[in-house]
Structure 1
Amino acid sequence: MKRTLYFICCIGFILMVSSCRKDFEFQASSGGLEFSKDTIYLDTIFANIGSSTYNLKVYNTSNDDISIPTLQLQNGENSGYRLNVDGQAGKSFTDVQLLAKDSLFIFIETTYNTDTTPLTNNEFVYTDKIIFDSGDNLQDVDLVTLVKDANFIYPDKNNTTGIIETLTLTIDGTPTATEIQGRELLPEELNFTNEKPYVIYGYAAVPAGETLTIDAGARIHFHANSGLLVSEGATLNVNGALSTDPELLENEVVFEGDRLEPLFSDVPGQWGTIWLFEGSQNNTINHATIKNATVGVLSDGNADAVTDKLTITNSQIYNISTFGILGRNTSITADNIVLNNAGQASFGATFGGKYNVTHSTIANYWNSSFRQFPALLINNFVADAENTAFVADLTEANFSNCIIYGNDNPELLIDQIEDAAVVFNFKFTNCLLRFQDSSNFFSSPNYDFDNATHYENMIFNEAPDFENPLENNLKIGEDSAANGQGNTTFSSQVPNDILGVSRTTSPDLGAFQHIIF
């Protein structure tokens, strides 16, 4: 009986206390809110493309439950900013409740729509405010983002079916329908200038018989699964130039994704590739930075071209999810190139072909996952879906005054299917190479480093002294094993390094002459 009476008394006490609480009595805010930031800086965006989501935290530091009478964007429904307040989307809110000593999140995005507000400059600072309350209790938080105008290139889309335009490509002289989303560039689009960035959706194809010229200082951005395709009979000329500012790279041509936020600045695989289709010709790339792609440059076919299919000079390719450069039975001349951070190989010379690489740094310090191949892969075959191998001539693969290094060992794989009907020619001269094989796994004659037919004046496994390879900074220091080890026959062919520094006397290996860190 006593226990029952005690229980009833406890329940009564709890009910009495509960009835005295004022859980649902909110006082009007008196302007004492605190904020995690007084200004929200949203990163640079292109016009008509949405930003990432940013957040603001609002604190009620008082002992009272409060209600914020109004919470809104200063420009109201006309604002290009969007809010989400505790899960509710909109641009204006009333009676937003906030418990004592509690906080709420506001999520912020923006899109600048040029259809409603045309841009008058190539870029400008777009601002608004989040206004809390009004009158004497008014508080605000500034919103700031930089909006850039751009040239947009994208395929047509059928509004009824939702089907996106695909490319018809000339293959062996025959127009062939493909499933590659994209369209051919129009005649007025065949010169990319540095006046405004270019944003490409799908694959922009250079038509047969035409040349795409890209001026120094141009910026080309690709959406996911997008890229540049140079058709049979077409040509790509990337005419970058040496820059005076190593940060701005004002004369460099830069190829990257269309996400401009710092979070995406070094993320591999954001877009497709620069695809030099079989039959494209006389392609040149000079002073370019190609980053964050699936394949940096894919060059197909034309191994026997009188003029090499691709000449690439003074260029850097890094943060690539598969291959920095992938050649398939093709012909490439490369001078002063810097490759790094590829999920497979930095340079793949596959299915035979012809390759001449001089004063280049082929490195791979990929650390995001296991990689199947070393920094440099050379082979003479390709396998189809049934794993049937097809071989082709490796006419030549010459690497001279190069550094071939990385965070794996070895950083060279020569994978040959022997066939008396094809040739397999390669030579490394005055190169610094990481290759240790203590288990004697690589027993092929192709790894006989005493054979002067294939290897001459080599340096093995000594430190290149890169400044910061994990940040794609592959300049070498004065303690580098590559310092002064170049062959002047090759340095006279490429007399300046990638930064324009002379190397005619005492040339270093790789793309950079050494500096003092």
Structure 2
Amino acid sequence: MRRITLLFLTGIILLFCSCRSDFDTVASTGDLTFSKDTVYLDTVFTNLSSSTYALKVYNHSKNDINIPLIKFANGANSKYRMTVDGAQGNQGKMFENVTLLAKDSLYVFIETTVESDNTTPTEFLYTDQIEFDSGANLQKVELVTLVQDAILLYPNRNADGTTETLPIGNKKISGFYLDKNDPIHGNELLFTNKKAYVIYGYAAVPEAETVTFEPGARVYFHSDSGLIVPKTASIHINGSKSTTDKLENEVIFSGDRQQPDFGYIPGQWGTIWLQNGSTKNTIQNLTLKNATVGLFIEGNDGTTMPIKNTQIYNCTHYGIQAKNALIEGENIVINYTGQASLACAYGGNYKFTHSTFNNDWSSPEQVAVYISNFIDGATPGTKDLTGATFNNCIIYGSYSNEMLLDKKSGAAFIYQFNNCLIKSNNTKDPDYQFDTDPVHYNAIILNKDPKFFNPNINNFNIDDTSSAFAKGNSTYLIPLDILGITRTLPPDLGAYQSKPFPK
């Protein structure tokens, strides 16, 4: 009985204390400190919620204090929302009588959803302040968000409440067809540089139609999203040379997470899928980042596809995955892919000139270039590789073997490397006789460091100390490099004309 009474009394005391947590607090005197004076919420798109950002608030005094009020300067009309130590407050806008213990801290988490109408017309900034207390004790933390006005493209809701889908073989995926007469956006088959585009799900080009991307177009893909070009349809990516580091005339495909922490994270979205039978596809001056597979080129209708001045980075599987395709590439740069930067599988015909295929993915299974004439389980199992030609290229990476030739009998396997820098440890294999097999290899530089400027940030410029400097053959010259700089003679290997590194 005594034990029960004691437990009862203890519970009463604890309940009383918990109800009077502010019993011994003193009023805030305006001496709070903050982890940041300004919270910058990185670029968000109109009508889409931002990521959540943290602000830490410190009480360095010896007293438990009571903060009478925490609110936004714009009050209930603020486009920001916050939680304070997990509490929602008044719809995430205002908090009263917040206790902060001595020598302790609390977290404020902030996010926003902004419309372009709430921004300044010249800078597209939305700003506010978090106010702590008022009057003489008022303290403020600035909030700044860059808002990018965007066109949102996404699957519609069907009458039964389900989401619009696309048929892919025997399956269906969340997606929709682009409409050249859309009542809201107008011609969805024309991507201009007037606004950014954000795509949810897979956008598909109708058969016999062409999707065109004008210079400076910006397309951001949400998770599990991408673009599909089916049979008889076409894609024309018409980027052009830029004059600044902002790549103002490039066409850019990327994930829709714009904060810096996501700048180099692979696998944020799906792929650009050019299905078998798509036709007259062209790509020029494209920068593609952070996909699962950058370009998935699944054959075509017999027309060779040009890919020029294109950069592909940070893909969980492949930069370019081609199956029995016809591709002619110039000034291509690919890096950091989970399996292969360039994979030419199941035959086809390929020619790459002045291109840099690197792979610094942290796995010994990755390679920069993979070439095969088969796919396991396919019918037929092999197809002719009628040509895989590499001229004035660099094939390099972080591991000892960055090129894999994978062939089976029953189909042709024709390949040739001319004036290339290659990293390979397969010198005992008869398919990799770089010095004594002139049918397949000419003027190969083996296992020499090209001394890229900074591959960690995908900068593959070289200078005159590089092993690739002036080692190219003028027969295969592409007069301008990937940046539009005139190549000197003899040309350098790879996609970049050499220049002194910045100091």
Pair in the same fold by TM > 0.5: yes
Alpha-carbon separation, structure 2, partners of 1:200 and 1:120: 25
Alpha-carbon separation, structure 2, partners of 1:489 and 1:504: 13
Matched residue, 1:12: none
Matched residue, 2:370: 377
Unmatched tracts of structure 2, length 5 or more: 1-16, 181-186
Q: Which range moves more in the overlay, 146-155 or 102-111?
A: 102-111
Residue 40 (structure 1) shift: 1.2
Matched residue, 2:98: 96
How well do the aligned residues superpose, as a CA RMSD in angstroms?
Answer: 2.2
Q: 2:337 aligns with which of 299, 323, 342?
A: 342
- In the alignment, residue 111 of structure 2 is paired with which amino acid? E
Q: How does 1:80-119 map to 2 (within 5 A)?
A: 80-89=79-88, 90-113=92-115
Q: How does 1:422-437 map to 2 (within 5 A)?
A: 422-437=411-426
Residue 448 (structure 1) shift: 6.2
- In the alignment, residue 314 of structure 2 is paired with which amino acid? N
SS at match of 1:195: coil
SS at match of 2:126: strand
Matched residue, 2:399: 408
Residue pair 1:373, 1:413 contacting (<8 A) in 2 also:
no
Per-residue Cα deviation, 1:167-222 (whole angstroms, up to 9, x for no partner): 147xxxxxx67412111111111111101111001111111111111111111100
Alpha-carbon separation, structure 2, partners of 1:36 and 1:136: 22
Residue 86 (structure 1) shift: 1.0
Alpha-carbon separation, structure 1, partners of 2:191 and 2:255: 17
Residue 505 (structure 1) shift: 2.2
- In the alignment, residue 267 of structure 1 is paired with which amino acid? I
Per-residue Cα deviation, 1:16-54 (whole angstroms, up to 9, x for no partner): xx9xx9982222222222222222111111111111211
Q: 2:448 aligns with which of 462, 476, 479?
A: 462
Alpha-carbon separation, structure 1, partners of 2:122 and 2:321: 36
Q: Which range moves more in the overlay, 388-397 or 424-433?
A: 388-397
Q: Which range moves more in the overlay, 469-478 or 267-276?
A: 469-478
Q: Which range moves more in the overlay, 456-465 or 221-230?
A: 456-465
SS at match of 1:414: strand
The TM-score with structure 2 as length reference comes to 0.90
SS at match of 1:470: helix
Q: 2:347 aligns with which of 352, 355, 361?
A: 352
Matched residue, 2:495: 511
Matched residue, 1:4: none
Residue pair 2:119, 2:126 contacting (<8 A) in 1 also:
no
Q: How does 1:159-178 map to 2 (within 5 A)?
A: 161=161, 163-168=162-167, 178=171
Alpha-carbon separation, structure 2, partners of 1:279 and 1:388: 17
- In the alignment, residue 402 of structure 1 is paired with which amino acid? C
Alpha-carbon separation, structure 1, partners of 2:487 and 2:86: 61
Alpha-carbon separation, structure 2, partners of 1:23 and 1:500: 67
SS at match of 1:351: strand
The TM-score with structure 1 as length reference comes to 0.87
Matched residue, 1:479: 465
Per-residue Cα deviation, 1:45-93 (whole angstroms, up to 9, x for no partner): 1111111211112222333222111111222222211111111022111
Residue 101 (structure 1) shift: 2.4
Matched residue, 2:11: none
SS at match of 2:492: coil
Larger gyration radius, structure 1 or structure 2: 1
CA 1:58–1:373 in structure 2 vs 1: closer, same or farther (change >3 Å)?
A: closer
2:178 is the alignment partner of 1:182: no
Q: Which range moves more in the overlay, 456-465 or 263-272?
A: 456-465
Residue pair 2:127, 2:142 contacting (<8 A) in 1 also:
yes
SS at match of 1:513: coil
User: Structure 1 segments of 4 or more deviating over 3 A?
Assistant: 117-123, 158-161, 444-449
Unmatched tracts of structure 1, length 5 or more: 1-17, 170-175
Matched residue, 1:294: 292
Alpha-carbon separation, structure 2, partners of 1:122 and 1:293: 32
Residue pair 2:324, 2:346 contacting (<8 A) in 1 also:
yes
Alpha-carbon separation, structure 2, partners of 1:135 and 1:57: 22
- In the alignment, residue 515 of structure 1 is paired with which amino acid? K
Alpha-carbon separation, structure 2, partners of 1:23 and 1:42: 33
CA 1:159–1:262 in structure 2 vs 1: closer, same or farther (change >3 Å)?
A: farther
Residue 118 (structure 1) shift: 6.6
Alpha-carbon separation, structure 2, partners of 1:224 and 1:485: 42
SS at match of 2:467: coil
SS at match of 1:189: coil
Per-residue Cα deviation, 1:384-441 (whole angstroms, up to 9, x for no partner): 3xx887100101111111111111121111010111xx22111111111111237x4x
Residue pair 1:383, 1:389 contacting (<8 A) in 2 also:
no
SS at match of 1:505: coil
Residue 514 (structure 1) shift: 1.2
Q: Which range moves more in the overlay, 136-145 or 205-214?
A: 136-145
SS at match of 2:367: coil
Matched residue, 2:140: 140
Alpha-carbon separation, structure 2, partners of 1:365 and 1:73: 46
Q: 1:268 aligns with which of 262, 266, 269?
A: 266
Between the aligned residues of both structures, percent identity stands at: 50
Residue pair 1:124, 1:146 contacting (<8 A) in 2 also:
yes
Residue pair 2:373, 2:412 contacting (<8 A) in 1 also:
no
CA 1:469–1:120 in structure 2 vs 1: closer, same or farther (change >3 Å)?
A: closer
Matched residue, 1:172: none
Alpha-carbon separation, structure 1, partners of 2:365 and 2:63: 61
Residue pair 1:154, 1:201 contacting (<8 A) in 2 also:
yes
Alpha-carbon separation, structure 2, partners of 1:76 and 1:212: 45
Residue pair 1:397, 1:425 contacting (<8 A) in 2 also:
yes
Residue pair 1:43, 1:145 contacting (<8 A) in 2 also:
yes
SS at match of 1:263: helix
Matched residue, 1:205: 204
Residue pair 2:120, 2:126 contacting (<8 A) in 1 also:
no
SS at match of 1:479: coil
Alpha-carbon separation, structure 1, partners of 2:192 and 2:495: 27
State the number of aligned residues.
474
Matched residue, 2:409: 418
- In the alignment, residue 458 of structure 1 is paired with which amino acid? I
Q: How does 1:64-83 map to 2 (within 5 A)?
A: 64-83=63-82
Residue 152 (structure 1) shift: 0.7
Residue pair 2:58, 2:106 contacting (<8 A) in 1 also:
yes
Matched residue, 1:495: 479
Per-residue Cα deviation, 1:433-460 (whole angstroms, up to 9, x for no partner): 111237x4xx244646522111112111
Residue 122 (structure 1) shift: 8.3
Q: Which range moves more in the overlay, 26-35 or 403-412?
A: 26-35
Alpha-carbon separation, structure 2, partners of 1:299 and 1:379: 15
